[in-house]
Amino acid sequence: MIGLYIILFITVIASGSLIFIFKTENQKFLKLMLAFSGSFLIGISFFKLIPEVFSTSVRFAGLFVMAGFLIQLLLELITEGVEHGHSHVHREGERATPFILLIGLCVHAFLEGTPIASGIDADVRRSLVIGIIVHNIPISVTLMGLLLHYGCSWKKGLFYLSVFAFMTPLGSIISNLIPFASSVSMKHFFTYVMAVVIGIFLHVSTSILFEAEDNHQYNIQKFVVVCFGIAVAAGLTLL
């Protein structure tokens, strides 16, 4: 598990550092990356995570999926959609503090880490971790860009990015302790938290996929990238 935590942490730092290579003024690359991540997330969800949750005997799994969907909707009141690539820049008089943004994203990342457990099926854990990694790439780029825009030095930006990177492993570490500290069944607990994360994934991915372009057209490049993302998810989860 420690190896997974290191991979999750490093990929966020590496992704956020891409902001120094790719200029944020050119949004085409970021939009295509978002399209891939959104299609990959929804593919992972339908091909692996949803069948896993609903193959168990736990009750009310659908309610927990809906809860995750609504939790993500609530979090976006704070993050303003950074999870699916929105990088709203406020005017000077209405500047949003990056700390509030960071708190919202940290809660989001913490929740995504909660189903990562040593006791769950290895294929499910692998699919979940890959989905989180792919999802975190555009988030990290957007977050680092906003931190720099709002006056953070690159050192402070990397520190805040490190805090965000640590949240997913932290969510996993804490959730792994809960079943051992209570009478809760480990299988049932992680099924419910997986259902919540599925709801989060569905909200983020559908927000990306069904968001119209500036000219309200769904261009062919985005469609091809979406198909590719779904195909990659299918290949990783169905083999």
DSSP string, 111-141: HHHTT--TTS-HHHHHHHHHHHHHHHHHHHH
Torsional sign, CA 35, 62, 8, 12: positive
Q: Is 35 part of a structural domain of the chain?
A: no
Report the alpha-carbon angle 23-25-31, nearest 5: 90
Give the integer Cα–Cα distance in Å for 60 and 62. 5
Q: Is 83 part of a structural domain of the chain?
A: yes
What pLDDT shows up at residue 169? 92
**Parent domain of 141:** 2-18+50-238
Give the integer Cα–Cα distance in Å for 222 and 104. 28
Alpha helices in 178-219 (DSSP H): 186-209
Q: Is 220 part of a structural domain of the chain?
A: yes
Q: Is 26 part of a structural domain of the chain?
A: no
Q: Is 25 part of a structural domain of the chain?
A: no
Give CA torsion, residues 111, 181, 6, 28, to 10 deg: -10
Q: Is 33 part of a structural domain of the chain?
A: no
pLDDT band at 124 (very low <50, low <70, confident <90, very high): confident
Q: Is 43 part of a structural domain of the chain?
A: no
Give the integer Cα–Cα distance in Å for 215 and 64. 36
Asked if residues 6 and 127 have their Cβ atoms less than 8 Å apart, the reply is no
Question: pLDDT at residue 161 above 60?
Answer: yes
The tally of domains found in the chain comes to: 1
pLDDT in tens, 162-177: 999 999 999 988 888 8
Q: Is 45 part of a structural domain of the chain?
A: no
What pLDDT shows up at residue 82? 64
Question: pLDDT at residue 209 above 50?
Answer: yes
Average pLDDT score, the chain: 80
Question: Does the reported pTM lie above 0.85?
Answer: no
pLDDT in tens, 15-27: 888 877 765 555 6
The conformational region for residue 22 under phi > 0 = left, psi -120 to 50 = alpha, else beta, is beta
The pLDDT of 119-124, averaged and rounded, is 76
User: Distances in Å between the alpha carbon of 6 and those of 135, 170, 237?
Assistant: 17, 12, 22
